[in-house]
């Protein structure tokens, strides 16, 4: 069953600095199955973040449609939750306060349910015992765990993740990837995961959408043939490296010169 | 073939000794306080020595012992307590009013862009005008009794509170705003959970500056007329060449400044606890 459908979506806006129109997304179409883990990769400027913002309802769009369960996306909704690149935690709220923040804003659950879900998801991301800590006291990895717990606790149909591990060091990132897969296998949420790291995309996703810039469009979609659960050792599998390489070739194929010379 | 390496490892430090908390002498622990108080005491002693030697004319400067004596006598027999009560009440009334009005107006101006555009020029013009220049006008409006004093404190403390509150409301973290919106937060929810808590440290900075400026306000107000208060005491002391009385007033104002600013700083630190260590 198709959960999320993006149909002939284009997004253009006027760039004051360049004094011309920029086509951020050009005729993007894709369908995400229920329970699927979809990754979107591409170099900066390929429109992947624009795509995510539109799906999240944070950015209006005029051409094409985005729908979830057949309902057109028109602003933010309780059927989606976002895990942001910057943890975006309220610094004056404790871990527990931040985990329940999404639920509080959405007002879908009563107080006992919120409390119960808060405890459940704090424990799920491995932060039991840190409930009373403030974000300023946590490491980058732990902050992203809170970020993830906040999104999951809001019980979305589609979980949107915008380069959530990009700011973490390599080791923490690997660890968080494995952890995310474990949590995802329990939750079976539909996930759209934006990243610029190809090996992260291949490791996590069922399918990898490769985008290219100027204008932002879908270049290719790869099906990742590996079963689950996946261990981190998969990243050294020859077949894995082969897919990674193939995606690299497509990304490299994009006219990087234009990317470098965009300061007009 | 390599020779077996024969090196005796002799520990250079005894481990048990290292694990002990390094002992700091009493002096080392309190160095800043000791040096600070010592320099004060020495300075006052030198001042007193010159005073006792008769090298200082009481017309131009007083001596520490004379000031202390004046303070004591005014406390027991004079009007010092009444003056303190008068100035203190005016200061508190003006300050509380300034904080209340500054925070409310600041939140409104900071939250609504249009109101900020409309009110901005007026507030900026008033903010740029030295408050002292308005004192004569305030006296025309309110007379020379306590109402004008309270208003001068109010107008002095109002602007720092206002300006900092507006700054705090404008300093909303874009990432937090985006997160709140993604979770379907209403404007009111964003106001409550993102804007206001984020503005609290700014507001308290404004309060601290307001306390300092309000204190100046209360003194200046009393110097411009009236017959009571610490500011009046300083002005009167000056006019009658009673330098000891003048100094009692100055020292009380300085002391109040130190204590009140320290209190405001404490409050500021308390509400900024969630900030990452600076």
CB pairs under 8 A between A and B: 60
B226-247: pLDDT as tens digits? 788 888 888 888 888 888 888 8
Tell me if chain A has a CB within 8 Å of the CB of B275: yes
**CA–CA separation, A117 vs A165, rounded Å?**
24
Query: Which residues does chain B have within 8 Å of residue A57's beta carbon, measured at their own beta carbons?
Result: 182
For all residues of chain A together, what is the average pLDDT?
Answer: 86
Task: Report how far Cα B39 is from the mean position of its chain's Cα atoms.
Answer: 24
CA distance B168 to B31: 37
The CATH class that applies to domain B69-271 reads mainly alpha
Chain A residues in contact with B194 (beta carbon < 8 A):
90
Instruction: With CA atoms as reference, report the closest residue to A26 among A237, A175, A180, A211.
Output: A211
CB spacing of B189 vs A57 below 8 angstroms = no
Residue B276 has pLDDT above 60, yes or no: no
pLDDT of B93 > 50? The answer is yes
Give the start-end residues of each E strand in chain A. 2-15, 20-33, 37-41, 63-68, 71-72, 80-83, 158-162, 190-195, 207-212, 217-223
- The mean-pLDDT minimum among A219-228, B15-24, B39-48 falls in B15-24
At B146, the pLDDT band (50, 70, 90 cuts) reads confident
ipTM > 0.90, yes or no: no
CA distance A1 to A24: 29
Question: Could you tell me which residue, A144 or A258, shows the higher pLDDT?
Answer: A144
- pLDDT tens digits, one per residue of B193-227: 998 888 888 999 999 999 999 999 988 888 887 78
Compute φ and ψ for B3, nearest 5 degrees.
-75, 140
Q: Do B183 and A102 touch (CB under 8 A)?
A: yes
**pLDDT at residue A257 is higher than 60:** no
For chain B, the domains span: 69-271
pLDDT average, residue stretch B254-262: 91
Burial class (CB in 10 A: 0-12, 13-18, 19+), A43: middle
Give the span between the Cα atoms of B131 and A198, in whole angstroms. Answer: 62
- pLDDT digit string, tens, across residues B183-198: 989 989 999 899 888 8
Structural domains of chain A, ranges and CATH numbers in brackets? 2-79+158-260 (3.40.50.300), 88-155 (no CATH)
pLDDT value of position B154: 94
Average pLDDT score over chain B: 85
- Residue B100 tokens read as 């209340």
- Residue A17 predicted with pLDDT over 90: no
Chain A residues touching residue B189 (CB < 8 angstroms): 104-105
Q: Which residues contact A207 (CB under 8 A, 6 or more apart)?
A: A36, A38, A39, A221, A222, A223, A224
Strand partners, A9: A28
Work out the percent of chain A whose per-residue pLDDT is above 70: 96
Q: Which residues from A are below 8 Å from B183, CB to CB?
A: 76, 81, 101-102, 105-106, 154
Q: Identify the band that residue B274 occupies on the pLDDT scale cut at 50, 70 and 90.
A: low
């Amino acid at each position: 069953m198709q959960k999320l459908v993006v149909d002939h979506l284009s997004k253009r806006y006027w760039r004051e600095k360049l004094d011309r129109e920029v086509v951020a997304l050009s005729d993007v179409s894709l369908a995400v199955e229920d329970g699927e883990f979809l990754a979107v990769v591409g170099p900066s400027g390929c429109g992947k973040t624009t795509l995510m913002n539109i799906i999240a309802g944070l950015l209006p769009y005029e051409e094409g449609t985005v729908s979830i369960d057949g309902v057109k996306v028109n602003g933010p909704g309780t059927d989606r939750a976002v895990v942001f690149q910057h943890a975006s935690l309220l610094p004056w709220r404790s871990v527990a306060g931040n985990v329940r923040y999404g639920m509080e804003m959405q007002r879908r659950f009563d107080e006992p349910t919120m409390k119960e879900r808060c405890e459940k998801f704090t424990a799920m991301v491995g932060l039991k015992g840190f409930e009373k800590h403030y974000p300023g006291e946590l490491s980058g990895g732990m902050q992203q765990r809170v970020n993830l717990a906040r999104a999951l606790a809001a019980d979305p149909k589609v979980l949107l993740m915008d380069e959530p591990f990009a700011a973490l060091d390599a080791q923490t990132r690997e660890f968080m990837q494995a952890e995310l897969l474990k949590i995802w296998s329990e939750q079976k949420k539909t996930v759209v995961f934006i990243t610029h790291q190809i090996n992260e995309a291949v490791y996590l996703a069922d399918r990898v959408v490769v985008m290219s810039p100027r204008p932002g469009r879908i270049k290719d979609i790869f099906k990742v043939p590996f079963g689950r659960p996946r261990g981190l050792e998969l990243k050294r599998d020859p077949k894995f490296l082969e897919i990674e390489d193939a995606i690299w070739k497509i990304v490299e194929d994009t006219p990087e010169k234009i990317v470098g010379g965009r300061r007009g | 073939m390599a020779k077996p390496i024969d090196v005796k490892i002799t520990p250079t430090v005894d481990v048990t000794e290292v694990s002990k908390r390094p002992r700091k002498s009493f002096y080392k622990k309190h160095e800043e306080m000791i040096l600070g108080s010592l320099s004060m005491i020495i300075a006052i002693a030198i001042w007193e020595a010159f005073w006792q030697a008769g090298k200082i004319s009481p017309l131009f400067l007083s001596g520490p012992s004379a000031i202390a004596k004046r303070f004591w006598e005014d406390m027991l027999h004079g009007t010092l307590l009444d003056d303190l009560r008068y100035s203190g009440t005016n200061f508190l009334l003006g300050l509380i009013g300034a904080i209340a009005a500054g925070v409310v107006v600041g939140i409104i101006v900071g939250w609504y862009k249009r109101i900020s555009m409309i009110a901005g020029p007026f507030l900026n013009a008033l903010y740029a005008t030295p408050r002292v220049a308005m004192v004569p006008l305030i006296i025309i409006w309110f007379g020379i009794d306590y109402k004008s004093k309270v208003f001068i404190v109010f107008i002095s403390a109002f602007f720092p509170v206002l300006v900092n509150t507006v700054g705090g409301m404008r300093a909303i973290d874009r990432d937090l705003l985006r997160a709140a919106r993604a979770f379907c937060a209403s404007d009111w929810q964003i106001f409550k959970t993102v804007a206001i808590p984020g503005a609290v440290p700014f507001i308290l900075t404004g309060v601290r500056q307001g306390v300092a400026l309000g204190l100046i306000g209360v003194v200046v107000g009393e110097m411009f007329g009236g017959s009571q208060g610490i500011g009046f005491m300083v002005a009167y002391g000056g006019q009658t060449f009673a330098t000891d009385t003048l100094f009692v007033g100055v020292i009380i104002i300085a002391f109040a400044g130190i204590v009140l600013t320290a209190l405001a700083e404490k409050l500021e630190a308390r509400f900024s606890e969630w900030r990452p260590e600076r």
